[in-house]
Structure 1
């Protein structure tokens, strides 16, 4: 069984269609570091890639491989590989695809760790980095037309939920022979499938929605086989390997991915709509709102708007502290995409690595609260926000 008509069925079955050892219906965790062969010829064939199998868990592992196959099928890619964290997926992909003297075009509004790669690490490698205004698609196209090796996009962006037109910009990138990489962490393959819009590689922090329970870290990359094979080779040598137990936990979380995303979508929209009408809220950033500047693009390329939103308060950071400290149904903590609501300011979460000036340059006000709506009852979340805002 390899074809799935629905994402919900794929989330449960993809990569796990067969019974496992002793007839088990749940995937075992293979903690073995290495795998032995009595037949030397078979060992050589597996080692050289002429036959399927596993040699050493830094490279491949029978618990990890089904996870890679699941995301491959759900995203519609040719191949997939895994990593120890989301940032490992992003960094390994960029370091694989870029070499000294080459050029990458990216948007300014990327996750803080990704942004650090663009402003600190890639320049050390003599890679020419061009960061464009995320909402100025004409400017991005002009920079791409000058030539680049990679176009890197993130949509929706973290933490201001800007939307990038993947299809339009992918066409511009392919016209100059560039590879298009899209961070799809916020949307997941349930809400958005960038490969169908022209992306060549999609990267994920599997720590977030894919796992969904804030109890394990991991990263994934899926896309064109020739590119993923290169990225896999870089990862197997540099060693940012996903642990088998982490793969098992992510696989277990993904079985309920579509169910969770439906509630995240519902709560995200309800909370964003309510906040947009509150007198103490200055601005709400959520692509599902008709007031969002790229709402039409979001509707075109997304099937749901997600549980992530952010909002800025009138009165500055002191108000942020008051609201956060009075929320009851929200963990004041980093990360996102969990079953429980997570909140925090970018200065201590998504963009803690950046200075205040760097955050300002990225269009992130200090009065901003990033809000990852969980799967709690929506009425409870709104009541909780109401009482916290009343104390600001």
Structure 2
């Protein structure tokens, strides 16, 4: 099942998500990837067993090291990101932390931006300094400042684009070139864009990270992460995962494989609706600002047009009145979960303080430029007209409540967890 048959080079994205990693067929002539739940794999011949254990022969030893179902997922991501190898983890954060711990050592320096997912930011602010790694976080939109910090010398440049939840766009090719000039490794989180809209490896990045929990799985029912890159680099990441143990389980791998097969269809609908919602929000009087790379006025629009094939399914906006308005607005939405995930078939709304940056204190969020009135929308596959009407109606209800002086709803009606 460790399928290495490659697709035709000209195959389209809709074909790749379906057939990538699965062209060679499956055991028992199954048309779908079997779920192999065995923890260990037995051998009659001790020498053959030893050869597999040393990597001299193909095969499986123990599912913390590799698993047939998980390998199909890894091969599929290789096809989608045009990577030599991939390593799957038990969650997106396991993948991110696994990469950083695989390549960073005491006394080294990492450069990144202030805008990143809250969990990633915690690694930079809290955990890497404990290891003796120097961390420099730069204003995300100041490309020249990032280049200057990289030029001072660093072992690793970490990029996230578009950023979560502010949707800022980084010039991947330019920053990767700056890193190469000092011999730094470049890592990029490609979760928001997905491999359909952006391929960082083709822009000079060394390692690509995905939270497979999000758009890759697409159904909000599984955790997972995947790291892609050159085989030499992935061997180091695979070794770290093997010893530290954050391996993806085969049933989760199966669910992500199944989800990826509809990725092209889902993203096509999601980002079409996202564009409509973003444009509407720009006209809404209760909205202070809107973040979506597909808007012509977005600061990163030109860069997004150059390095992305689509603008994605995430929109964020800042409400006038801050959290008080957030608490009024969200309960009125009918076609939405108020939750801390993204990338699912259902539309999901949530403020940054209970989703992307729940780990951060108010003061930390303010320092990162994350407003208490910022709301993130993960646009689902529902009919665009229904999502637009739902949002319009919610804003109309808020205006009626404000006119009547209705008390603010308790914040418990706007629940959320880490995303």
TM-score bucket of the superposed structures, by smaller chain: over 0.9
Give 1:125's aligned residue.
131
Give 1:146's aligned residue.
152
Give 1:310's aligned residue.
316
Say whether the 8 Å CA contact 2:7–2:23 is kept in structure 1.
Answer: no
- My pick for the range that moved more, 87-96 or 11-20, is 11-20
With structure 2 as the length reference, what TM-score do the two structures score?
0.93
CA drift of 1:73 comes to: 1.2
The alignment status of 1:196 with 2:202, answered yes or no, reads: yes
Q: Distance in 2 between matches of 1:106 and 1:119?
A: 11
Give 1:264's aligned residue.
270
Matched ranges for 1:247-262 at <5 A: 247-262=253-268
Q: Distance in 2 between matches of 1:297 and 1:311?
A: 20
The alignment status of 1:233 with 2:239, answered yes or no, reads: yes
- Structure 1 outlier segments of 4+, above 4 Å: none
Q: Distance in 1 between matches of 2:223 and 2:322?
A: 33
Give 1:342's aligned residue.
348
Partner SS, residue 80 of structure 1:
strand
CA drift of 1:19 comes to: 2.5
The alignment status of 1:72 with 2:82, answered yes or no, reads: no
Deviations, residues 293-351 of structure 1 (Å, cap 9, x unaligned): 11000000000001101001112211111111111111000010000001110100110
Q: Report how many residues are paired.
A: 392
Q: Any gaps of 5 or more consecutive residues in structure 2?
A: 399-419
The alignment status of 1:58 with 2:26, answered yes or no, reads: no
Matched ranges for 1:77-96 at <5 A: 77-96=83-102
Q: Distance in 1 between matches of 2:25 and 2:86?
A: 22
Partner SS, residue 347 of structure 1:
helix
Q: Distance in 2 between matches of 1:80 and 1:55?
A: 18
- Structural RMSD (CA): 0.7
CA drift of 1:3 comes to: 2.9
The alignment status of 1:156 with 2:162, answered yes or no, reads: yes
CA drift of 1:361 comes to: 1.1
Give 1:386's aligned residue.
392
Q: Distance in 2 between matches of 1:261 and 1:52?
A: 36
The alignment status of 1:175 with 2:181, answered yes or no, reads: yes
Give 1:2's aligned residue.
6
Give 1:40's aligned residue.
46
CA drift of 1:391 comes to: 2.0
Aligned counterpart in structure 2 of residue 332 of structure 1, from 338, 357, 368: 338
With structure 1 as the length reference, what TM-score do the two structures score?
0.99
CA drift of 1:279 comes to: 1.2
Deviations, residues 220-258 of structure 1 (Å, cap 9, x unaligned): 000121111101100110000000000000000000111
Give 2:289's aligned residue.
283
Deviations, residues 151-189 of structure 1 (Å, cap 9, x unaligned): 000000000000000000000000000000000000010
